[in-house]
Amino acid sequence: MLTIGTLARKTGTKVQTIRYYEQIGLLNEPGRTAGGQRRYAQSDLDRLAFVRHGRQLGFSLDAIRDLLGLSDNPDQSCSQADSIAQQQLVQVQQRILRLQALETELQRMIAECEGGQTGDCRVLEVLRDHSECLTDHDNIGE
């Protein structure tokens, strides 16, 4: 029987986070001691490890909830789990593209900044210059 602290240590999770997962129904309510403290079995550790691994892969708690359900039903098709992972992959790839575009603009901004007065600061200038960005939203009739 494992205490919540041991579970936390073994999975790299904060104690409060484990209680939070229980609260939102992601983990089963464990048994309690006479004094009311939680005591976990190995299966609880496995389940928490599954959740944490999913989080490390960027899955939302909702997606993890689905994956847990699939994992509990070994007779169902694998294709649902696959499709959840596919969606996650697409999202990750989109995020990478956006961040790379952002990286480029930040680099350009910083490269052009020569450490002078803020009056000439390229960083601030880029932020101030809305000549392009405003017209993205409204270029009709004004």
Binding residues (CB under 8 A) for its own copies: these are 9-12, 46, 49-50, 52-54, 56-58, 67, 70-71, 73-79, 81-82, 84-86, 88-89, 92-93, 95-96, 99-100, 102-103, 105-107, 109-110, 113-124, 126-130, 133-134, 136-138, 142
Q: Is the Cβ–Cβ distance between 41 and 2 less than 8 Å?
A: yes
Contact letters for DNA, residues 11-50 (x by CB under 7 A): ---xxxx-xx------------xxxxxx------------
Mapping DSSP onto H, E and C, the string for 19-67 reads HHHHHCCCCCCCEECCCCCEEECHHHHHHHHHHHHHHHCCCCHHHHHHH
Q: Could you tell me how many residues of this chain bind DNA (CB under 7 A)?
A: 21
CA 93/CA 24 separation, integer angstroms: 29
Residue 68, token pair as written in the block: 């847990």
What is the binding site for DNA (CB under 7 A)? 3-6, 8, 14-17, 19-20, 33-38, 55, 60-62
